[in-house]
Amino acid sequence: MRFRPMLGIMIAVFSSVALAWQLEVPQLPLTDKRSVADVYHGVKVTDDYRWLEDGKNPEVIAWSDAQDKHARALLDPLPLHAEIEQFLKRLYNKRAPSFYDLKNQHGLLFAMNSQPGQQQDVLVTLRSPNELASKRVVVDPNQIDPSYSTAIQFFIPSIDGSKVAVSLAGGGSEAGTLHLFDVATGKELPDQEQRITGNGGGSVAWSADGTGFYYTRYPHEGERPRQDMNFYEQVYFHKLGTSVSQDSYVIGKDFPRIAEISLTTSDDGRYLLLSVENGDGGQYEHFLRDPSGKWMQLAQFSDHIMAVAFGNDGLYMLSRDHAPRGRLMRLPLTDPELKNAVTIVPESTAVLQDFGFSLSGLRPAFVITPQRLYVTELIGGPTEIHIFDHDGHPLGTVPVEPVSSIDQIVPSQGDNILFENMSWVDPAAWFVFDAASNQTTVTAMRESSPASFAEIEAVGEFATSKDGTKVPLNIIRRKGTKLDGQNPTILTGYGGFGLSQTPFFDPSLSAWLDAGGVFAIASLRGGGEFGEEWHRAGMLTHKQNVFDDFIACAEQLIKAYTNPAKLAIEGGSNGGLLMGAVLTQRPDLFRVVVSISGIYDMLRSETTENGQFNVTEYGSVKNPDAFKALYAYSPYQHVKDGTKYPSILFTVGENDPRVDPWHSRKMIARLQAANASKNPILLISFSNAGHGGIGSAEDQRIAMETYWSEFIYQQLGVKWVNPVMQAH
């Protein structure tokens, strides 16, 4: 069972709180103000804590250690700290095995597998989703690295399924090395490739005969200046059994500095599809290599082609050109010029999903079988699978759970498909849809919850934002919850990069809900819930809409469910930026803030490597209009001296390649200096961790969730209720 720590964090409470917080703890470090001034378009901006950006400086390391020790000394002695850990461990240990990122290849089903008591997920093969006894482990990071700090980023089987390329990364760094394994024996092959993944992701595609593979490659030593080493991703080809020095350049020299490349082959391996994203803002161009080795550009960034997939009768493209909710087109492989593409599924009221994110690149959310086209449609959050023939004639829908999400669709035998489905109250399960009978059957790959959700319900409401926009708000609560304004409530959101808040299942919420808590998820502008217009209304110079939407959702909850003294908010990454913005704009509205790996200094963000990939989503201070918008909401610049701030906990992974931990260091220092309340403002650092727990071992994920949990419960003063576990 995969827990969603960035959205659904388990909460716990404490008796005897005052005693624990009166214990002697290390003092917070003194934080010097060392002012540095910058001038942007005639505006002078002073930064008192620029010195905290240097994470290698011994003085900064000592400061971080002191902050960390202070926070842990306050939280570790709390009476139920161990209880929370034990509760989470019981959840993890009692869960059913889970399978994700499935790939059907040459009669074998490849999958990532999470098992109870297993620190890192492993790569396995099975004969079918109903034959779990046939499972064989191909790659086990727990055996490769006994410290459990190495994780599988992604895997790509060869066309014949005999070999598999696996990217492994350590310590949450996401800097992957490609390893090859023999599928039948699990034996590692001698070929290896360094620096195939980085800030722009990474990807691999096998040649048709399996004698080599195409791979993404970042510059090697001496090829680029130091500041460009994690940019300029290109594609190379490696022939098995040869030296890496003999690898040949394929394409990419003319791609943008912040290119993010995804590779896919046709089923027979004869055609190679290459998609390039221009940073993280949702702009794509696509290229096709034919069997003769000739490259052709299929679409430019300005064509708004979001995703491309191979079918047996051509290429299928999802376009948002003059169709913000998406339309599907078919393009013949015999003459693959965009002008020859024909629209087969026109834009409708629902949003056609373009792709799902994975560390191996883009995974289209539509699947083509010999005679059918399965399309994932998004309706404000929940998703459905609609069926068409290859000419776009509708053939109905695939039966799925009500108000649920489709995480992945995998082609199966003939026109059948395998898909993963979950809801707010039902764990994930893999189903087979039989095209002949139009029937859906659950497979043996079905997760179960150690905690009962029988008395839990999910309801949908709308909040009205500052400009009148209706914002969806999903609320998870116990049946019969009193709407008396006294319920302790957690509100979370994201609002960026076109990512939608679709239904997810998190058994760790059971403790919070059993204690009378309410959990709410806001579907904010900047996401993709209502198409590209919804996304664009929350990006670049329109980013303030995201924060207005979230504030409106908080005020909606206060009308019936809760009050500011009982409202906690949490978010991570771009959702951490959200936390920083709303806590500085409306510190009176929340009692507790938990922010994970957040971005806070928007004026300095693009000085970091990954921040440069983000400029197509956030904008750049080099542009006067973008600077004006960034400066208007950047959380770090809007902390005000003498303000009574709520209780705040920030957590970071010191190896985070996506959001540099200095964001949190500077923001915490500024908040601690400005705060006029007695509420704690804490920073916890995890030394061998990356972005929000990506790549972390199970024990480390539990440790992170424990801190997030106890802080909220302790600060809200909610009484702990130990959920009853059920057998799966």
Query: 159, 148, 132, 247: which is closest to 196 by C-alpha?
Result: 247
Among 286, 390, 663, 691, the one annotated catalytic: 691
With bands split at pLDDT 50, 70 and 90, how would you rate the model's confidence at 726?
confident
Choice among 59-63, 175-179, 494-498, 585-589 with the minimum mean pLDDT: 175-179
The verdict on whether 348 is a catalytic residue reads no
Q: Residue 80's pLDDT is what?
A: 82
HEC secondary structure over 76-115? CCCCCHHHHHHHHHHHHHHCCCEEEEEEEECCEEEEEEEC
Q: Residue 5's pLDDT is what?
A: 38
- Higher pLDDT: 291 or 689? It is 291
> Is 60 exceeded by the pLDDT of residue 237?
yes
What's the token pair of residue 67?
């902050």
Which residue type, as a one-letter code, is found at position 633?
A: Y
The verdict on whether 573 is a catalytic residue reads yes
Average pLDDT over residues 371-383: 95
Query: 572, 575, 514: which is closest to 549 by C-alpha?
Result: 575
Q: Residue 695's pLDDT is what?
A: 87
> Is 70 exceeded by the pLDDT of residue 8?
no
Among 64, 319, 573, 605, the one annotated catalytic: 573
Are 198 and 657 in contact, with CB atoms under 8 Å apart?
A: yes
Q: Residue 722's pLDDT is what?
A: 82
pLDDT digits (tens, 9 = 90+) for 178-228: 999 999 999 999 999 998 888 788 999 999 999 999 999 999 999 999 999
> Is 50 exceeded by the pLDDT of residue 687?
yes
Query: 518, 544, 577, 576: which is closest to 465 by C-alpha?
Result: 544
Q: How far apart are CA 712 and CA 710, in angstroms?
A: 6
Q: How far apart are CA 315 and CA 304, in angstroms?
A: 16
Average pLDDT over residues 325-353: 96
Which residue type, as a one-letter code, is found at position 117?
A: G
pLDDT digits (tens, 9 = 90+) for 636-647: 999 999 999 999
Quickly tell me which residue has 């804490």 as its tokens.
Answer: 682
Q: Residue 512's pLDDT is what?
A: 95
> Is 80 exceeded by the pLDDT of residue 362?
no
pLDDT digits (tens, 9 = 90+) for 392-416: 999 999 999 999 999 999 999 999 9
pLDDT digits (tens, 9 = 90+) for 18-67: 333 444 678 898 999 999 999 999 999 999 999 999 999 999 999 999 99
Q: Residue 317's pLDDT is what?
A: 97
Average pLDDT over residues 94-111: 94
Q: What is the CA radius of gyration of the chain?
A: 25
Name, in order, each residue with C-beta under 8 angstroms of 428's C-beta and a sequence gap of 6 or more.
Answer: 1, 2, 98, 407, 420, 421, 422, 447, 505
- Higher pLDDT: 249 or 727? It is 249
Q: Residue 677's pLDDT is what?
A: 98
Query: In degrees, to the nearest 5, what angle opens at C-alpha 74 toward C-alphas 73 and 79?
Result: 105
% of the chain surpassing 90 pLDDT: 87
Q: Residue 359's pLDDT is what?
A: 56
Mean pLDDT score of the chain = 93
* Percentages of the chain per state (helix, strand, coil), in multiples of 5: 25, 35, 45
With bands split at pLDDT 50, 70 and 90, how would you rate the model's confidence at 1?
very low
